[in-house]
């Protein structure tokens, strides 16, 4: 079944698309087609664009898209796309003791934030 709506992409979206790996481009095309097939999908949040329009911001797996539907013209205008960083937890982290894990988390936080961070982590033993 062909979607009733078409989609357009802004230059910023086109740049991200062109610079992405093939599998990411294919993933984006599936997301764009999903939006065109169901243009009434509500976003997770909204934000205003430069013209003052309320745009939907929705997460689709590892991507965040900003778009607005133009129902009269039967178009979805995709104005921004962002690849979300996904952190993977290694299996090795599950095999270490709670104290060692706390030390590693503290070191990582200290190295990445460059500021004093006080987190109280409690780990359950498995």
Residue 67 contacts residue 77 (beta carbons within 8 Å): yes
Please check whether residues 63 and 41 belong to one and the same domain.
Answer: yes
pLDDT tens, position by position, 60-99: 999 999 999 999 999 999 999 999 976 555 545 445 555 6
Please check whether residues 20 and 52 belong to one and the same domain.
Answer: yes
Q: Which of 42, 84, 87, 34 is nearest to 63 (CA)?
A: 84
pLDDT tens, position by position, 20-29: 999 999 999 9
* Domain, as residue range, for 59: 6-83
Res 121 pLDDT > 50: no
CATH label of the domain that carries residue 23: 3.30.2310.20
| Ramachandran angles phi, psi of 80, nearest 5° | -155, 145
78 domain-assigned: yes
- What's the CA gap between 64 and 44, in Å, rounded? 10
- Name the pairing type of β-strands 63-70 and 75-83: antiparallel
> How high is the pLDDT of residue 4?
85
pLDDT tens, position by position, 3-57: 589 999 999 999 999 999 999 999 999 999 999 999 999 999 999 998 999 999 9
1 domain-assigned: no
DSSP code of residue 42: P
- What's the CA gap between 83 and 95, in Å, rounded? 31
71 domain-assigned: yes
């Amino acid at each position: 079944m062909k979607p009733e709506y078409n989609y357009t992409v802004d230059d910023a979206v086109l740049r991200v698309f062109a610079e992405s790996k093939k599998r990411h481009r294919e993933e984006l095309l599936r997301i764009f087609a999903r939006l065109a097939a169901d243009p009434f999908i509500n976003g997770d949040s909204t934000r205003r664009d430069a013209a003052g329009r309320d745009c939907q911001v929705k997460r689709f797996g590892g991507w965040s898209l900003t778009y607005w539907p133009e129902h009269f013209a039967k178009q979805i205008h995709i104005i921004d796309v962002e690849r979300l960083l996904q952190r993977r937890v290694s299996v090795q982290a599950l095999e270490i003791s709670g104290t060692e894990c706390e030390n590693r988390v503290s070191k990582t936080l200290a190295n990445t934030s460059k500021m004093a961070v006080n987190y109280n982590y409690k780990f359950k033993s498995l």
